[in-house]
Amino acid sequence: MKRTVTPHRPPNARWRPQPSAVGAVALACLVTGLLYVAVQVKALYADHFQQRYASLVLEAVARADNARLAASFARRAARAARPPGRAASSAASSADPNINANANYQQALDQLKARVAELDALIGSSPIPAPRLPQNDATAASFDDLQHALAATAEYWHARTDAISADVRRRTLRVASVLAVLTVVVAGALLAALVVFARRHRRLAGLTYEFRHAAHHDAMTGLPNRRQLLARLDQIAVSGAPGKCGLLYVDLDGFKQVNDTHGHSVGDAFLVAVAQRFRQSLRPGDLVARMGGDEFAALVLGFGSDTELAAIATRLMNCVGDADAQMGLGLVRASVGIATFPDRVADHRLLVAAADGAMYDVKRHGKNGYAFVSHPVPPA
């Protein structure tokens, strides 16, 4: 019987890995590293989005708190405008300043409710589970309760932002550690991932700019809106810039007839034409804004005298007349109210309301003209 001899491996022989095994291990390491990096990059992008959203919520909280302060300020002004023991019948007089104070207070309350509703809707749409505003704080019934609710909301979202930032730092450290091990293997893949992330970041930055631009500009005319005008007034008051500033509030007389007679498309084209003429008629440092509907406002800085403001008001009225003549309407003119800070109006927050009141004085006396604030407006 023939015996089969099995060769024995020498004791000192070493096992050498096969190229296929090395390739398989390298491929497994590469795939594992790439998957890990992809997961972390995706999480970083999600954290980046959450940070953006938290910033939007904090901005909404700040706007709601500003509206609360304005409403509280208007309430004190309304109470101060009513003398003790005054009869209710006298309060109904059209010349009673208490009516204006109450109207301003009601307008501030409506603005506050809108800001609180906007904030609550934003929190409700959050991709992060977040506590909603209490139902009893959804109105301005209690300014103190609303203040506490807004403070608690801001504190929660600040803490959430800090937590997200810490998570971003931890994930970034993990990605750096993996990339240090797989530098040679994943160089190309890392470059591709960075390109994708850069594109997404640029897209997000572009969207953020578009959102901010849309929040501070009128969509139809491209002019700054009421929010940007009020922000500029706040900047002027905070900076304490020397000199006076004037606000010209412009209302288009007869514009409703344009929409009723020629249609809203012609009315929109007329507003765009007037906005372009307004922008061209002012100096580069001045600001013209669309306040809404057929109302505009021009903020003039560093003027010399009332004569200069009157000339600017005349130019604005001529802009309206020229646009009306160019389009062959024969319907639209302008009434302009002028208020100046700090000589006629001591509080910049009342500048728009004072100019609006002067504009309505023009309308009551025949329209198609301009008028200055007749009586100085003290700080509220």
Looking up residue 305, the CATH number of its domain turns out to be 3.30.70.270
Residue 342 lies in a domain: yes
Which of residues 190, 216, 242 is at a domain's end? 216
**Rounded Cα gap, residues 246 and 236, in angstroms:** 12
Do 207 and 240 fall into the same domain?
A: no
Do 167 and 247 fall into the same domain?
A: no
Residue 32 lies in a domain: no
- pLDDT at residue number 165: 84
Domain count, the chain: 2
Residue 258 lies in a domain: yes
Do 56 and 192 fall into the same domain?
A: yes
Residue 319 lies in a domain: yes
Angle, in degrees to the nearest 10, between helices 143-181 and 19-81: 160
Amino acid (one-letter) located at 46: A
pLDDT in tens, 216-235: 888 899 999 999 999 999 98
Provide the terminal-to-terminal Cα distance of the chain, rounded to the nearest Å: 121
Do 250 and 279 fall into the same domain?
A: yes
**Rounded Cα gap, residues 51 and 163, in angstroms:** 10
Amino acid (one-letter) located at 352: V
Do 198 and 64 fall into the same domain?
A: yes
Do 246 and 199 fall into the same domain?
A: no
**Rounded Cα gap, residues 136 and 145, in angstroms:** 8
Which of residues 160, 187, 216 is at a domain's end? 216
Q: Is the pLDDT of residue 190 over 50?
A: no
Residue 254 lies in a domain: yes
Do 161 and 197 fall into the same domain?
A: yes
pLDDT in tens, 150-173: 888 888 888 888 888 888 888 888
User: What mean pLDDT value characterizes the chain?
Assistant: 80
Phi, psi at residue 159, to the nearest 5°?
A: -65, -40
- Would you call 297 helix, strand, or coil by DSSP? strand
Q: Is the pLDDT of residue 140 over 70?
A: no
- pLDDT at residue number 8: 52
Rg (the chain; Cα; Å): 32
Judge whether 282 and 288 are in contact, CB under 8 Å: yes
Do 287 and 242 fall into the same domain?
A: yes
Predicted TM-score (pTM) of the model is: 0.48
- Tell me the percentage of the chain whose pLDDT exceeds 70: 80
- pLDDT at residue number 87: 47
Of residues 71 and 196, the one with the higher pLDDT is 71
Cα-based angle 53, 124, 211 (whole degrees, multiple of 5): 40
Cis status, amide bond into 342, omega within 30 of 0: yes
Judge whether 96 and 78 are in contact, CB under 8 Å: no
Q: Which residues of 278-291 are buried (b: 16+ CB within 10 A; e: fewer)?
A: bbebbeeebbbbbb
Q: Is the pLDDT of residue 188 over 70?
A: no
- Would you call 246 helix, strand, or coil by DSSP? strand
Do 325 and 186 fall into the same domain?
A: no
Beta-carbon count within 10 A of 128 CB? 14
Judge whether 173 and 101 are in contact, CB under 8 Å: no
Residue 336 lies in a domain: yes
Beta-carbon count within 10 A of 224 CB? 20
Amino acid (one-letter) located at 38: A
Name, in order, each residue with C-beta under 8 angstroms of 178's C-beta and a sequence gap of 6 or more.
33, 36, 37, 40
Residues spanned by the domain of 134: 49-81+97-216
**Rounded Cα gap, residues 147 and 61, in angstroms:** 10
Q: Is the pLDDT of residue 22 over 50?
A: yes
Do 133 and 275 fall into the same domain?
A: no
Residue 15 lies in a domain: no
**Rounded Cα gap, residues 255 and 258, in angstroms:** 5
Which of residues 216, 244, 271 is at a domain's end? 216
Do 238 and 349 fall into the same domain?
A: yes
Closest C-alpha among 276, 314, 310, 274 to residue 294: 274
* Residue showing tokens 């930055």: 205
- pLDDT at residue number 68: 80
Of residues 263 and 65, the one with the higher pLDDT is 263
Judge whether 137 and 68 are in contact, CB under 8 Å: no
Do 281 and 206 fall into the same domain?
A: no
DSSP 338: E
Mean pLDDT lowest among 6-10, 29-33, 254-258, 343-347: 6-10
**Rounded Cα gap, residues 90 and 181, in angstroms:** 84
DSSP 243: S
Strand 295-301 to strand 287-292: parallel, antiparallel, or no bridges (unpaired)? antiparallel
Angle, in degrees to the nearest 10, between helices 97-124 and 19-81: 160
- Would you call 84 helix, strand, or coil by DSSP? coil
Q: Would you give the distance in Å from CA 378 to the centre of its chain? A: 30
Q: Which residues of 18-38 are buried (b: 16+ CB within 10 A; e: fewer)?
A: eeeeeeeeeeeeeeebbeebe
Residue 28 lies in a domain: no
